[in-house]
């Protein structure tokens, strides 16, 4: 069925139609609510992250493309193992406001850590960012954000462990990239424990993307969200 010819389409479908993605039905981000999550024992997450990696930070602000500040990490800098599969960290980046909603509420920012396995299957670890104390680990990035797509910021020693909480409770579901080409089959692990940043750090990012760079939430279409948050 081509959604392009369906009238009265729910608003949530609008950007799928715009992007001629009719037929793709397992998209991200989503609204994670207590009434659409199922509690259970989830398989353990094993992060193996460098405490001192180099970052190449770019501003990928081209309209119609992935619009964010992205930190490319050195090869071998990090991995996650889950359900017997190991995925290597390729990059992390941010969205404002958060793309995933928590009980229909956005937070000021969301972190995405993008991992890829030997077969190029993608797994994204998401983490909500709230207003709080200055985030010292992220200060070298947020105090020197690349202002244009021509800018590169080199960070020579970044502790990737600073991005991951001790408490690894999460929400897990299968979705898509949130930017073109919106490819599906992406494993999403949204950590329940938020990260804190100061208002001025958040503001520095929002200045780069005044209209935000978050995609609207997408329909679940029968998918389930699993959680081990009590
Ligand atoms: S997101 O986390 O859903 N916002 C997201 C959006 C786009 C990508 C990744 C995550 N793009 C993909 C590219 C792949 C590349 C991978 C890692 O990023 O489509 O070709 O390997 O950089
Ligand atoms: Zn993202």
DSSP letter string, 168-204: --EEEEEEE-SSTT--EEEEEEEEEEEEEE-HHHHHH
How many CB atoms lie under 10 A from the CB of residue 140?
A: 15
- Residue 123 CA to residue 11 CA, distance in Å, equals 27
Which residues have any ligand 1 atom within 6 Å of their CB?
66, 90-91, 112, 114, 116, 124, 177-179
Whether 195 contacts 135, CB under 8 Å:
yes
> How many angstroms does the Cα of residue 230 sit away from the middle of ligand 1?
31
- Residue 51 CA to residue 43 CA, distance in Å, equals 25
- The alpha carbon of 3 is separated from its chain's Cα centroid by a whole number of angstroms, namely 27
**Pocket probe mutation, ligand 1, options 57, 64, 66, 175, max atoms within 8 Å of Cβ:** 66
**Pocket probe mutation, ligand 1, options 92, 123, 177, max atoms within 8 Å of Cβ:** 177
Buried b (16+ CB within 10 A) or exposed e, 111-121: bbbbbeeeeee
- pLDDT beneath 70: ranges in the chain: 1-22, 62-65
- pLDDT given for residue 22 in this prediction: 62
Tokens of 8: 């009265």
- pLDDT given for residue 12 in this prediction: 52
Burial class (CB in 10 A: 0-12, 13-18, 19+), 69: buried
Model's pTM, two decimal places? 0.91
Q: Whose CA is nearest to atom 8 of ligand 1?
A: 177
- pLDDT given for residue 24 in this prediction: 76
Burial class (CB in 10 A: 0-12, 13-18, 19+), 187: buried
């Amino acid at each position: 069925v081509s959604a392009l010819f369906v009238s009265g389409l729910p608003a949530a479908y609008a950007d799928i139609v715009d992007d001629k993605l009719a037929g793709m039905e397992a998209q991200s981000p989503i609204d994670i609510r207590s009434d659409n999550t199922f509690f259970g024992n989830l398989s353990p997450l094993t992060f193996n992250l460098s405490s001192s990696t180099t970052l190449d930070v770019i501003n990928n602000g081209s309209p119609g493309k992935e619009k964010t500040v992205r930190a490319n990490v050195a090869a071998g800098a990090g991995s996650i193992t889950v359900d017997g599969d190991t995925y290597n960290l390729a990059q992390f980046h941010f969205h404002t406001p958060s793309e995933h909603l928590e009980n229909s509420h956005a937070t000021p920012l969301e972190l995405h850590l993008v991992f890829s396995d030997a077969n190029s299957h993608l797994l994204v670890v998401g983490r909500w960012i709230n207003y709080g104390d200055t985030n010292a680990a992220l200060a070298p990035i947020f105090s020197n954000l690349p202002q244009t797509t021509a800018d590169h910021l080199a960070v020579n020693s970044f502790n990737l462990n600073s991005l991951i909480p001790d408490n690894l409770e999460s929400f897990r579901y299968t979705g898509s990239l949130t930017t073109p080409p919106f490819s599906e089959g992406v494993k999403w692990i949204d950590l329940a424990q938020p990260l804190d940043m100061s208002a001025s750090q958040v503001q520095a990012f929002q200045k780069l993307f005044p209209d935000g760079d978050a995609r609207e939430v997408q329909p679940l279409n029968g998918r389930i969200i699993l959680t081990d948050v009590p």
